[in-house]
């Protein structure tokens, strides 16, 4: 995509693109939990900003989106995705990943740096950002903690910060030593940035491919024990406590880690955490058919862990829901389970899964869900929050909380199909997004 | 598959008389019990062979006839396509059959496929001098060049009909009846 | 019995006891066939069986080949040695080749758990698991059970110990599932580092004291100890393993009654089992090998009896 500055819009097939010079949404439920806004109203957007909340003026000459049965909330933000570009464009590109984000209702994503080359220079950061042109999706690359993601020494973090990076991670791998983690936490205090740890003690997880326990024992698959996560989470928390640095735990998956974070927060440690829609809804018994689409790192855990994650999400021990969207090509997954790569896609299903399995079942409130999927992650990454108020930049997600649809891996906007939710009947689906001066809306 | 009775062919007393005649014929043909072997084919060939053997023993003043059991399920010609349960039942031929006169015993001779399978099976145990076939009922409709050497009764049947030879040991009653099948949604397995 | 017995044989977890008994009873008949002057029968004429071994194996492969030939099947075998996956033919390529060659039954040995299931989801052929990683090895367990039944008469309430490296053993898992299904009482015994987490969920007792286990049991099935477990740190030394868990004549003599000692082979003599136990008069270990052919004949026969939709 060579169109960067001219607002050239490029909606996917089946979607309508709009310019936001003059756009209105009529009669939608406007829902902004942080502003305690929950009302049915029209909303008018002029030059990319919210110009009025209230009846559309009679002389309004712009496009109007019919908002009946729709909810408008602050734009969703996914702080943990893998867009695979540069280096693995056959799995996903920034463009295809952004379109998948749109389909899922996300207006912003933070791609992890495990690309080739890894995101450890401003040039790569800028390249990735540019690739999102023409989409309504903000792309905020996460920088590598260590140069080349090799786990040896710190990357040029201050340079990366000048290029706009506010979060660092070696995601896919943990920071190998406590000393290096200490240095990373101390160094990023200069910019008040956050270190995002993929928590895994690899000496314990070893060759593990699934949660260790009765199911792995029966399947004869090497176990990745929950304790391997807990030990690293504890290490991170104590180092953050000791240094005063900011630590964020990626894809929290275990009951014990939830409790560690809860206790640390109570002590005032600068710790935040995210978990994923799949860890919130799938347990390891689903692996009994050796379906590699369920192979993910950290692995799917037990029902007790799921309950603890939901509880943690509820009491805000867990701040954010992030998808860990990890596309892999069909033939990479179409192999023996132990050889398949870890990862599942999640951008297009996250909202539907959370609404269906957590909100409709009253495990968490809609407010909590929207918060965890939108501004909670922005705050962790020091990004401006999205708001539904007059004068704010229009950064909005539109969804239909009653739309029933069936997940079909072959119909994803992502380049890959490795969803664990294929065939699921979901209630609630993103209808459109508004951001960066453009809007994409799903056609019926 | 359902079946209904058409008519009775032989009753218990008749069966006894017929078996006696068959035993006499077997003895006559084989000139006594020397080298004579009776092999009952699963399922109802087995009790019929037992009874023939008892009658022969009585006729020959206590001389015994060697007896065996053959299950032909390993020798079927329709194994690959038959929509039926694969089941192997006991085969018991625990003596040498080389140079013996083997009489295969079965209840009904129909297409001849069972007899063919049985002949095949016998050869895995050795090389008998002769193989003969004793059947209680020959109902016709042959699909192989096979005939019974000792036949209890030949009757004319049509393909929709089935001959049921019932024996006390298995069915609790001795009789032969002709039945008619209807509502036939399965292959007609004997 | 009116149901078809088997579509595939992937493992013994969750298998109905009646199916185990049908396989064992059928194998008993095939054992007699193996004693005939001409130990060959024709039921699998016209059926093509492919033995695909992605892992080196001598005895299991020979046992399957012999069983197939005794049943008059057409047999093709290929081995892909080495567990290296990036090189050579992938499992998916194999799948496609099998489809193209119109093979009726596939016998697969693979280092990856679940590989046989992977095949069943992608091809029409019947699939027999000849060992998949540390998951299951159902025909081995069935032949063990055939041998056990031959010596004890039945399984109800029978006390069986599975001894050794339970964590990495597919034979152990299949034995546990099979024996539990028919009502045996199963105990696993071995070093704690080689007993996998939560194995009690499979309904077994656990012991780390081999003498205690011997006192308890009627039958002991001794697993092979992969010698590399020492280098991987699971056990300090083979010497210590032998002294702590090895089945020796002295240990068996001490319990003062006869128990059945099985070993799936190949044996590490002087490690998990002593030669004077393995070779003792009355040892059933070679009987297991003979039973292996009969069990595999039974499984092949019962699987091939299924009418295929594409027949």
Would you say the C-alpha torsion C27, C28, C29, C32 has a positive or negative sign? positive
User: So what CATH class is A75-380?
Assistant: alpha beta
Closest partner residue to B74 among C2, C3, C42, by Cβ? Answer: C42
Distance from CA of B136 to the nearest CA of C (A): 27
Q: How far is C110 from chain A (nearest CA, A)?
A: 10
Is A324 among the residues known to form the active site? Answer: yes
Q: How far is C196 from chain A (nearest CA, A)?
A: 6
Show which subunits contact C, needing at least 3 CB pairs below 8 angstroms: A, B
B127 vs A115, A156, B56, B65, B93, CA distance in Å? 75, 90, 24, 18, 13
Which H or E element spans position C212? helix C210-216
pLDDT at B189 > cutoff 80: no
Q: Does B have 3 or more CB contacts under 8 Å with A?
A: no
This complex has an ipTM of: 0.92
Residue C89: the pLDDT is 67
Confirm or reject contact between C196 and chain A (CB < 8 A): yes
pLDDT for res B6 = 86
- Position C134 pLDDT exceeds 50: yes
Q: What is the pLDDT of residue A93?
A: 98
Decide if pLDDT at B186 tops 70: no
- pLDDT attached to residue C309: 38
pLDDT-derived band at C310, boundaries 50, 70, 90? very low
Is it true that the peptide bond before A117 is cis, omega within 30 degrees of 0?
yes
Token duo for residue C84: 């290296």
The pTM of the full predicted model, rounded to 2 decimals, is: 0.90
What number of other Cβ atoms are within 10 A of residue B17's Cβ?
11
pLDDT for position C176: 98
Could you give the CA distance from residue B38 to residue B30 in angstroms, rounded to a whole number?
A: 12
pLDDT: is C90 or C247 the higher one?
Answer: C247
pLDDT in tens, C251-281: 999 999 999 999 998 999 999 999 999 999 9
Q: Token pair for residue A384?
A: 């401006």
How many CA atoms are closer than 13 Å to the CA of B91, on its beta-carbon side?
Answer: 26
Q: Are A15-72+390-442 and A75-380 in the same CATH fold?
A: no
Q: For chain B, positions 118-147, list CB contacts with chain C under 8 A.
A: 120, 123-126
Q: Can you say how many angstroms the Cα of residue B99 is from the centroid of all Cα atoms in its chain?
A: 22
Question: Looking up tokens 């026969």, which residue turns up?
Answer: C301
Q: Which residue of B has its CA nearest to C30?
A: B88
Which of the residue ranges A170-179, B46-55, B179-188 would you say has the lowest mean pLDDT?
Answer: B179-188
> What pLDDT is stored for residue B190 in this prediction?
43
Domains parsed from chain B with CATH numbers: 12-73+92-155 (3.40.50.2020)
Count CB neighbours of A291 within 10 A.
18
- CB contacts, 8 Å: A223 with chain C: 196-197
State yes or no: pLDDT of C282 exceeds 90.
no
Low-confidence ranges of chain A (pLDDT < 50): 1-6
In this prediction, residue B23 carries a pLDDT of: 97
Range list of H helices, B98-163: 113-123
List all residues 6 or more positions away from B12 whose beta carbon is below 8 Å from its beta carbon. B173, B174, B175
Does residue B101 surpass a pLDDT of 50?
A: yes
Q: What is the token pair recorded at A57?
A: 């003026």
In angstroms, the Cα distances linking B165 to B13, B41, B177, C2, C227 are 14, 14, 7, 22, 63
Residues of chain A with Cβ-Cβ distance to C199 below 8 Å are: 214, 217
Contact C202 A219 (CB under 8 A): no
In the block, tokens 């992605």 appear at C54
pLDDT surpasses 80 at C76: yes
Q: Work out the mean pLDDT of chain A and round it to a whole number.
A: 96
Report the pLDDT averaged over residues C212-219.
98
Query: Encoding tokens for residue C279?
Result: 């070779």
Q: Show the domains of chain C with their CATH numbers.
A: 17-136+292-310 (3.40.50.1370), 138-288 (3.40.50.1370)
Residue of chain A with shortest Cα separation from C176: A218
pLDDT for the residue C78: 83
CATH code: domain A15-72+390-442 is 2.30.40.10
For chain A, the structural domain boundaries read 15-72+390-442, 75-380
pLDDT for res C292: 98
């Amino acid at each position: 995509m060579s169109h960067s500055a001219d607002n050239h819009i490029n909606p996917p097939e089946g979607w309508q693109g709009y310019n936001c010079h003059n756009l209105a949404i009529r009669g939608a439920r406007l829902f902004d939990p942080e502003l305690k806004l929950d009302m049915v109203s029209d909303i008018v957007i002029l030059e990319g900003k919210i110009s009025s909340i209230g009846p559309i003026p009679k002389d309004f000459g712009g496009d109007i989106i019919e908002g009946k049965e729709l909810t408008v909330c602050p734009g969703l933000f996914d702080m943990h995705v893998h867009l695979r570009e540069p280096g693995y464009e056959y799995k996903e590109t920034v463009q295809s990943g952004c379109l998948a984000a749109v389909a899922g209702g996300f207006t912003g994503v933070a791609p992890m740096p495990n690309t080739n080359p890894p995101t450890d220079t401003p040039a790569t950061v800028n390249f990735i950002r540019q690739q999102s042109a023409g989409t309504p999706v903000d792309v905020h690359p996460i920088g590598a903690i260590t140069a080349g993601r090799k786990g040896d020494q710190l990357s040029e973090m201050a340079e990366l910060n000048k290029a706009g990076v506010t979060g660092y991670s070696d995601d896919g791998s943990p920071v190998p030593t406590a000393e290096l983690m200490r240095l990373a936490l101390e160094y990023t205090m200069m910019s008040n940035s956050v270190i995002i740890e993929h928590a895994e003690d690899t000496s314990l997880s070893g060759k593990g491919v699934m949660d260790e326990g009765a199911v792995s024992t029966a399947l004869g698959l090497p176990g990745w024990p929950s304790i391997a996560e807990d030990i690293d989470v504890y290490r991170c928390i104590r180092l953050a406590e000791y240094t005063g640095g900011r630590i964020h735990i990626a894809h929290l998956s275990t009951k014990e880690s939830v409790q560690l974070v809860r206790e640390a927060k109570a002590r005032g440690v600068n710790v935040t955490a995210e978990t994923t829609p799949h860890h919130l809804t799938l347990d390891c018994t689903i692996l009994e058919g050796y379906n590699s689409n369920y192979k993910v790192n950290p692995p799917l855990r037990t029902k007790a862990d799921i309950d603890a994650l939901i509880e943690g999400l509820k009491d805000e021990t867990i701040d954010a829901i992030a998808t860990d969207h990890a596309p892999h090509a069909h033939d990479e997954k179409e192999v023996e389970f132990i050889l398949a790569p870890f990862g599942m896609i999640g951008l297009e299903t996250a909202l539907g899964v959370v609404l269906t399995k957590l909100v409709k079942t009253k495990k968490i409130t809609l407010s909590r869900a929207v918060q965890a999927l939108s501004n909670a992650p922005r705050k962790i990454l020091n990004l401006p929050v999205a708001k539904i108020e007059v004068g704010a930049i229009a950064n909005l997600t539109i969804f239909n909380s009653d739309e029933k649809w069936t997940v079909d891996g072959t119909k994803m906007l992502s380049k890959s199909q490795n969803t664990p939710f294929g065939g699921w009947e979901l209630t609630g689906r993103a209808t459109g997004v508004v951001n960066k001066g453009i809007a994409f809306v799903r056609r019926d | 598959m359902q079946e209904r009775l058409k008519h009775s062919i032989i009753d218990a007393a008749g069966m006894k008389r017929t078996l006696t005649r068959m035993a006499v014929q077997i003895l006559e043909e084989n000139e006594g019990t020397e080298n004579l072997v009776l092999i009952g084919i699963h399922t109802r060939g087995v009790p019929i062979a037992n009874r023939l053997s008892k009658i022969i023993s009585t006729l020959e003043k206590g001389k015994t006839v060697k007896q065996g059991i053959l299950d032909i399920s390993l020798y079927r010609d329709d194994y690959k396509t038959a929509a039926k349960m694969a089941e192997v039942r006991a085969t018991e031929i625990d003596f040498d059959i080389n140079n013996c006169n083997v009489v295969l015993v079965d209840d009904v001779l129909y297409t001849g496929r069972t007899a063919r399978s049985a002949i095949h099976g016998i050869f895995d145990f050795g090389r008998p001098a002769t193989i003969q076939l004793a059947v209680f009922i020959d109902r016709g409709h042959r699909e192989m060049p096979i005939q019974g050497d000792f036949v209890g009764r030949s009757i004319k049947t049509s393909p929709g009909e089935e001959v049921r030879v019932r024996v006390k040991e298995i069915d609790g009653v001795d009789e032969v009846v002709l039945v008619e099948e209807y509502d036939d949604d399965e292959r007609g397995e004997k | 019995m009116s149901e078809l017995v088997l579509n595939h044989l992937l493992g013994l977890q969750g298998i109905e006891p009646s199916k185990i008994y049908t396989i064992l009873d059928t194998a008993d008949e095939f054992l007699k066939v193996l004693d005939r002057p001409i130990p060959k029968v024709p039921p699998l004429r016209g059926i093509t069986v492919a033995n695909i071994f992605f892992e080196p194996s001598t005895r299991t492969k020979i046992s399957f080949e012999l069983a197939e030939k005794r049943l008059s099947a057409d047999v093709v075998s290929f081995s892909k040695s080495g567990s290296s996956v990036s090189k050579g033919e992938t499992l998916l390529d194999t799948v496609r080749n099998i489809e193209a060659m119109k093979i009726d039954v596939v016998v697969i040995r693979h280092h990856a758990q679940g590989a046989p299931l992977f095949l069943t989801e992608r091809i029409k052929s019947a699939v027999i698991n000849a060992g998949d990683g540390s998951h299951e090895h159902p025909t081995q367990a069935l032949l063990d059970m055939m041998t056990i039944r031959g010596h004890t008469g039945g399984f109800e309430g029978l006390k069986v110990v599975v001894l050794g490296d339970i964590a990495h053993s597919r034979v152990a898992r299949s034995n546990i599932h099979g024996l539990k299904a028919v009502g045996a009482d199963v105990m696993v015994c071995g070093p704690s580092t080689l007993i996998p987490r939560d194995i009690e969920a499979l309904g077994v007792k656990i012991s780390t004291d081999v003498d205690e286990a011997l006192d308890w049991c009627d039958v002991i099935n001794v697993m092979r100890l992969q010698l590399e477990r020492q280098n991987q740190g699971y056990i300090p030394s083979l010497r210590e393993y032998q002294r702590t868990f090895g089945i020796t004549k002295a240990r068996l003599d001490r319990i003062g009654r006869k128990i059945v000692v099985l070993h799936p082979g190949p044996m590490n003599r002087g490690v998990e089992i002593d030669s004077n136990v393995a070779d003792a008069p009355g040892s059933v270990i070679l009987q297991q090998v003979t039973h292996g052919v009969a069990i595999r004949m039974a499984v092949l026969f019962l699987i091939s009896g299924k009418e295929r939709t594409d027949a």
